A and B are shown apart, each in its own frame.
Chain A
Amino acid sequence: MASYLLGISCYYHDSAAVLLEDGIVVGAVQEERFTRKKHDASFPARSISYLLRERGVTLREVRAVVYYEKPFLTFERLIETHLEASPFGLRSFLASMPTWMKEKLFLERLLKRELAQLGAGPVPELKFSEHHLSHASSAFFPSPFADAAVLCADGVGEWATTSAWRGQGADLTPLWEIHFPHSLGLFYSTLTAYLGFKVNSGEYKVMGLAPYGKPRFADRMLENLLQLNSDGSFALNLRYFAFTKELQMFSPALEDLFGRRARRPEELLEPFHMDVAASLQLVLERALIPLARELRRQTSATRLCLAGGVALNCVANSKLLLESGFEDLWIQPSAGDAGGALGAALAYYHLAEKGERRVCHGDAQKGSYLGPSFKAVEIESFLRKNNVPFQKLTQEDMLSETSRYLDEGKIIGWFQGRMEFGPRALGHRSILADARGAELQKTLNLKIKFRESFRPFAPVVLAEDAPEIFEFDRPSPYMLFVAAVRPELRVPLAPADRTKFGIDQLNVVRSTYPAITHVDYSARLQTVSRDRNPILAQLLEVYRQRTQSSVLVNTSFNVRGEPIVCTPEDAYRCFRRTEIDVLVLENFIVTKESLPPSNQSEDWRSEFELD
């Protein structure tokens, strides 16, 4: 009889649940996808219900529920940090305490009450993992490595902000930790806030903004903000950071350092902001590479696993791959706190219960396609119920039709199989488009995604074709690395284009795939193979037969501020509100031109807060 463990993360941000069957992940989903509230932190009741239903088990059959961190340790940090800051910090202390007194100090009781509401019978045993152990487990145990060093870097979890581990077989040994407030994640988040973007969601935009600027402030940052030590460790200069005692990330000293007040949200982005972003990105890389090199020296391991929010910085990941001395790198695709739910369950299974670990070829993450899927009968019923005109095709015809639409420059809402676990859409809940279109980046940003025009789009390409197009020599199934477009595919710049700077660089055609080539010729690469994603691989093959190219734009199926679509209904609603031309739900095709004009009162802006 199969044995089940449930991992959960919630009450901070990105709540999620994961189900293990005999130590193998069989389902994982973030609560935001059901509640349609981005970064939803509430108890993942709907996620758990889905996971149990999908597997046909009840909560009674689950052996234990593992929560991804230890709240008492976080509380200890809060008390000690505020005592150290006193008499300052009273406001932030009083602001944070109600949540703690009402919920988090009584977390065990709260979790048991929530779990009890999910089903009849006794609630399974409740266990707690440590935050960075959860991250480290999520990085090592699903990886394809039997032996590896593990590096976790995030904002903060309990006390730790950075931690190093050694993974061998089914064992994971802690090596060292760097503690709050010295944090690379909070360093990056603080400058993200200074640049007018939201903490915990805008970091990705800063990374995309960086190539537009010049890193002229990097030395100033290293002299004043972040001290890098010879052993790879680092320390923040707290004079410039306010997050230890105030309800904001940076102090006025940071504005004085740059000689400019902080940018307000949605204000014009100037070359200054791009230069700060470029400097920040460079400084992050300069901090991470020595850390990884030191870990390589200490462990002699040849493989490295990464997790924690900082590991979502794919530009830094690529630098680590090239410069850290490790031969190979595996990164947990759900590297943020949602992935902590997976790590917590895996840590309990392997470390507490001594469960066996089977190292899988590729990895044990199953392409991260671990969420809900919908049967043809459910999709057809939805379409009929809503009087949506559709074509029901064979898979072969659907692929051929979709390929034709893409070749004609149409933008496709692509909905197939199980939803992705993690922040990236990997070809099951994606918007796809022709990467050869020169105007496509602008159209997609402003008319489909309704997001900032500077943001780049990622390419998806057949794995076997990737080396001919990108300077990258290995699979990148999770879109966690960047790679340069090969020089022979680049377009020589006109003299007038060479002198452009800032956002003006955006409209310059730089390669035969302008929609996915960033201003520095980089692209956030996803490679696709038949074994991990057969349906998308087949689409790319059919598209290649037609166009001699297997490169498409792949961006998440949502608008700005909206969680990635989960159900056919979410997908249809997003399709109606945007200028997506064609919706492909499994083998059903809906075209915009077959529908009456959309009801303008259905404005997504009133529903989703801008991120």
Chain B
Amino acid sequence: MFTHLWAYLRERKKFWLLPIIAAFVVFGGLLLVSPTNPYSPFIYTFF
């Protein structure tokens, strides 16, 4: 996954996203225990 993520960041020249994604990984535990949302079929722009 990380190889593909790095390849994507390089191709899109979006290195500034790296700290944000790293922050997600750090706080990912919190999000992983959150229940899956009930909105996904309706507001699919977010999902």
Contacts and interface: CB of A to CB of B under 8 A. Distances in A.
Interface of A: 12-13, 39, 41, 70, 72-73, 76, 78-79, 92, 94-102, 104-106, 108-109, 155-156, 180-181, 186, 193, 198-200, 243-244, 247-249
A503 B15 CA distance: 56
A200 B42 CA distance: 7
B4 A108 contact: yes
Interface of B: 1, 4-5, 8, 12, 14, 17, 20, 24, 28, 31-32, 34-37, 39-47
A76 B17 contact: yes
Given A79-B20, A101-B28, A199-B42, A96 B4 contact: no
Contact of A186 (B17, B31, B45): B45
A95 B4 contact: no
Nearest to B25: A101
A99 B17 CA distance: 19
A106 B17 contact: no
B45 A180 contact: yes
Contacts of B8: 70, 72-73
A108 B41 CA distance: 22
Chain A CB within 10 A, most for which of B12, B32, B40: B40
Contacts of A99: 36-37, 40, 47
A562 to B, nearest CB: 16
A532 B40 CA distance: 38
Nearest to A183: B45
A243 B31 contact: no
A71 to B, nearest CB: 10
Contacts of A199: 42-44
Nearest to B7: A72
Contacts of A181: 45
Given A95-B39, A98-B37, A101-B32, A155 B45 contact: yes
21 contacts: A41-B41, A76-B17, A94-B34, A96-B46, A96-B47, A98-B35, A98-B37, A99-B37, A99-B47, A101-B28, A105-B1, A108-B1, A156-B45, A186-B45, A198-B42, A199-B43, A199-B44, A200-B41, A200-B44, A243-B43, A248-B43
B43 A106 contact: no
Contact of B17 (A79, A193, A198, A244): A79
Chain A CB within 10 A, most for which of B28, B31, B34, B45: B45
A553 to B, nearest CB: 30
Given A72-B5, A76-B12, A12 B20 contact: no
Contacts of A97: 24, 31, 34
A224 to B, nearest CB: 21
Chain B CB within 10 A, most for which of A73, A106, A247: A247
Contacts of B39: 95, 247
Given A76-B12, A76-B17, A106-B1, A98 B45 contact: no
7 shortest A-B CB distances, which residue pairs? A96-B46, A95-B37, A72-B8, A98-B34, A101-B31, A97-B31, A247-B39
Contacts of B5: 72
Contacts of A104: 47
B42 A96 contact: no
Nearest to A198: B42
Given A41-B41, A155-B45, 4 more contacts: A12-B47, A78-B46, A95-B46, A98-B32
B47 A98 contact: no
B4 A102 contact: no
Contacts of B41: 13, 39, 41, 200
Contacts of B37: 95-96, 98-99
A70 B28 CA distance: 21
Nearest to A244: B45
